[in-house]
């Protein structure tokens, strides 16, 4: 089920849409999608696969790291796109960010078989570098706190 | 191809062997294996799947986070097992650790289609809590620095 919101990943140029975490063109990947939520916060929703467990009943930490990672780069891209005057769905190629650093605190075991919701607040460090402060909820439980520093991808990363 | 070394994950009790990252009983997972290397360092080897890309040619950061995560818990378990008087392969159930915190610095893009090697140094914080300092290499290139704080899993995590 694809959530009913405009996601920044829908507007990544094809060359930047192969990410295992959030690439719409990576058929084996997680296909994470990140959009604007309330109060200038960013949102990513994801329902873990049956196999995404650490111990039966609890979500795998590496999957949570993947959600935080792509939520971070997606949130930075959303903000940069907005600062450039665009929103997702405007038919304008979105900027693409890569992760410089990733941090997670696992506050409690994350229950499995519940939708995950990552919420982000974006802080501009400089025009090509953003810090995203992230909370991950499983249902109503706040299970993970994360931080991503994301840097705009140099065009040399593209195959073109 | 399974590397020819004794891994701590081979000795996790079945109830703790379902992790998406390192559970030998998770058929869809990465089945990461962690053993002792040279100079009291720990080693995990992994060859990323074709789909594990961020951008074509470069490894996905969330996969690197997964390798660091399980290398951290595996390294802590190796050290605790040794402090208890055992080595992998001794036919003694290994202790199981969970991740309290995870940190990665992506020093440079990690080339894809090269074997990854995570190297860890384990520091005891207290008898049930270890910090693991990690470097990830793609071939000879040092691409990622990581740190994991791992805590011994309470027995209540087991289904038994």
Cβ-contact B143, B108 below 8 angstroms? yes
**Residue at B2 is within a domain:** no
Q: What is the mean pLDDT of residues A17-30?
A: 98
Q: What confidence score (pLDDT) does residue A102 get?
A: 98
Domain that holds residue A33: 8-157
All residues of chain B having their beta carbon less than 8 Å from the beta carbon of residue A60 are 19-21, 66
A19 to chain B, minimum CA–CA distance in Å? 4
Q: Provide the pLDDT for residue A155.
A: 67
B positions 118-137 inside 8 Å of A (CB): none
Which pLDDT score is estimated for B160? 43
User: Could you read off the pLDDT of B60-107 as tens digits, one per residue?
Assistant: 999 999 999 999 999 999 999 999 999 999 999 999 999 999 999 999
Residues A152 and A114 sit within 8 Å (Cβ to Cβ): no
- pLDDT value, residue B5: 87
pLDDT one-digit tens code per residue, B111-155: 999 999 999 999 999 999 999 999 999 999 999 999 999 999 976
**pLDDT for the residue B150:** 98
Confidence band for A2, pLDDT divided at 50, 70 and 90: very low
pLDDT at A141: 97
Q: At residue A156, does pLDDT exceed 90?
A: no
Query: Could you tell me if residue B62 is inside a domain?
Result: yes
Answer yes or no: is B126 within a domain.
yes
Q: Which of A31, A102, A131, A134 to mutate to test the interface with B (most CBs of B within 10 A)?
A: A102
CB B62 within 8 A of CB A65: yes
User: What's the whole-model pTM score?
Assistant: 0.95
Q: Any idea what the CATH number is for the domain that residue B73 is in? A: 3.10.129.10
Q: Is position B1 within any domain?
A: no
Q: What is the pLDDT of residues B30-65, one digit of tens each?
A: 999 999 999 999 999 999 999 999 999 999 999 999
Q: Are B55 and A100 inside 8 Å of each other by CB? A: no
Residue B127 burial class via C-beta count within 10 angstroms: exposed 0-12, middle 13-18, buried 19 and up: exposed
Q: Is residue A1 part of a domain?
A: no
| B110 touches B58 (CB < 8 A) | yes
Give chain A's mean pLDDT. 94
**How many residue pairs from chains A and B have C-beta atoms closer than 8 A?**
133
Question: Burial level of A126, CB count in 10 A (0-12/13-18/19+)?
Answer: exposed
Would B3 be classed as within a structural domain?
no
Domains contained in chain B, number: 1
| pLDDT above 80: residue B157 | no
Q: In B, which residues are within 8 Å of A17 by CB distance?
A: none
**CA–CA distance, B78 with B72 (Å, rounded to integer):** 10
- ipTM reported for the complex, 2 dp: 0.95
A3 belongs to a structural domain = no
Q: How confident is the model at residue B26 (pLDDT cuts 50, 70, 90)?
A: very high
A78, part of any domain: yes
Q: How many CB atoms are located within 10 Å of the residue B47 CB? A: 10
Which of B 10-49 lie inside 8 A of A, CB atoms? 15-16, 18-21, 26-29, 49
A62 contacts in chain B (CB < 8 Å): 20-21, 62-63, 65-67, 69-70
Whole-angstrom distance, CA of residue B13 vs CA of residue A153: 43
Residue B154: per-residue pLDDT: 76
**pLDDT range class, residue A5, cuts 50, 70, 90:** confident
The average pLDDT across B1-23 equals 88
Q: How many CB atoms lie within 10 A of CB B160?
A: 6
């Amino acid at each position: 089920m694809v959530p009913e919101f405009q996601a920044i990943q829908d507007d990544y140029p094809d060359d930047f849409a192969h990410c295992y975490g959030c690439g719409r063109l990576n058929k084996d990947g997680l296909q994470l999608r990140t959009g604007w939520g309330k109060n200038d916060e960013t949102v990513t929703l994801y329902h873990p696969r049956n196999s995404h467990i650490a111990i039966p009943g609890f979500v795998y930490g590496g999957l949570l790291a993947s959600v935080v990672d792509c939520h971070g780069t997606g949130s930075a891209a959303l903000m940069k796109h907005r600062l450039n005057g665009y929103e997702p769905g405007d038919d304008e190629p979105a900027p693409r960010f890569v992760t410089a650093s990733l941090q997670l605190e696992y506050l409690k075991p994350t229950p499995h078989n519940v939708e995950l919701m990552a919420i982000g607040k974006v802080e501009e460090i400089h025009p090509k570098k953003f810090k995203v402060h992230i909370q991950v909820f499983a249902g109503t439980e706040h299970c993970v706190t994360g931080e991503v520093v994301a840097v705009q991808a140099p065009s040399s990363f593209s195959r073109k």
